[in-house]
Amino acid sequence: MGETGAPPKALKLFATGLYSGYLPLAPATWASIFALIIWYLLRNEPVILLILGIATLLLGIIASNRLIRYWGDDPRPIVIDEIAAMFLLLSFIRPDIKIAIVGFLLFRFFDVVKPPPVNIGEKMHGGFGIMADDLIAAGYSRLVITLLTLILG
């Protein structure tokens, strides 16, 4: 922590996923649900969702780096990492809500359990460190979804 005062409101609004990071109990889950809703609205626009995911990832790293100066390492209200990871996970999946919900559940599982190398990503510092564990959890989730889709059709 280094900067005093409150962080800029726009920065806080973005990094907390429109303040979903302040919701009770499981802010990361609420943020993931928010991303799932956005996916539903854009489910037939995979390129837009991918671009949104990449932009959210890059801006999320920058925003997280700035907010760490106010709040310290990996502050709980920052949930833009879950949102970016969910956008990337769900881009180019079949536009089927059942598959998206399985993706959401897998993502939350891998993000909470943190099997290697997800746990390694969590130990990284800075904005990239905040994003890394969620990106790896999304990668695991995407792999499982792809395998399930190939096996089950």
CB half-sphere exposure, 114, CA atoms < 13 A: 9
**pLDDT at residue 2, rounded to an integer:** 63
Tens of pLDDT, residues 108-144: 999 999 999 999 888 898 999 999 999 999 999 999 9
The mean per-residue pLDDT over the stretch 71-81 comes to 92
Torsion, Cα 75 81 82 84, to 10 degrees, reads: 160
**pLDDT at residue 123, rounded to an integer:** 86
**pLDDT at residue 1, rounded to an integer:** 54
**pLDDT at residue 67, rounded to an integer:** 96
Tens of pLDDT, residues 5-15: 889 999 999 99
Residue 4, pLDDT > 80, answer no
**pLDDT at residue 73, rounded to an integer:** 85
**pLDDT at residue 19, rounded to an integer:** 96
Largest CA distance in the chain: 54
